[in-house]
Amino acid sequence: MKPKIIIGVGIIIAALVFLIIGGFKETAVYYLTIPEVHAQESKYMGQGVRVSGYVIPESIDWDPGKIELEFTMQEAGDSMRVYYKNVMPDQLAEAQQVIVEGKLDPHGTLQAERIMLKCPSKYEAKQNSLSSM
C-alpha cells in the first residue's frame, strides 16, 4: 500500500477518535442529589449536572407567553429552584420524581436544558398487573 494512503487513513482514524472522546466529555453528566449539589455548589457552578428530586406541585410557575417554566424540587429536606426555557412537560405536576440536566448558576438555580419525568406509580401498577396475565 502507498504511504500517502496509510497516512490519510491514519489521520481520518485519529480525527474520529478525537471527536468521539470530545463528545463523551461534553455529554458526561453525573447523577447527583440536591444535598450533594448544595454541599459542593462552588465545584458544580457553571458545570453540566444531572440532579434528581421531587417536584413541589404548588411551586410550578408556567408562563406560556414566554415559554418559561420555573419550579422547585426537593429531596431529603433540601430544595433547589429550576428554570427551564422550553415547553412544560405534560405531567410535571403529577411526577413523583424528576431528573433535570443543566447548569448551576451563581444564584443556585439550575438552568435546565432537559427535564425527564418518572411517571407516577399508578402507571407502573397497571403495567405490572397486565404483565402477570
Average pLDDT score over residue span 46-65: 92
Distance in angstroms (rounded) separating the CA atoms of residues 48 and 30: 8
Distance in angstroms (rounded) separating the CA atoms of residues 11 and 92: 48
β-strand 97-104 against 48-55: which pairing, if any? antiparallel
Mean per-residue pLDDT over the chain, rounded: 84
Average pLDDT score over residue span 45-53: 90
Distance in angstroms (rounded) separating the CA atoms of residues 132 and 127: 9
Average pLDDT score over residue span 36-42: 91
122 pLDDT tier (thresholds 50, 70, 90)? low
Phi, psi angle pair for 121, to nearest 5°: -65, -15
pLDDT of residue 95: 67
pLDDT of residue 96: 74
Domains of the chain, CATH where assigned: 29-131 (2.40.50.140)
128 pLDDT tier (thresholds 50, 70, 90)? very low
Residue 101 has pLDDT above 80, yes or no: yes
Residue of 35, 18, 21 lying closest to 77 (CA atoms): 35
Residue 113's CB: how many other CB atoms inside 10 A? Answer: 14
Distance in angstroms (rounded) separating the CA atoms of residues 122 and 133: 18
Average pLDDT score over residue span 96-117: 92
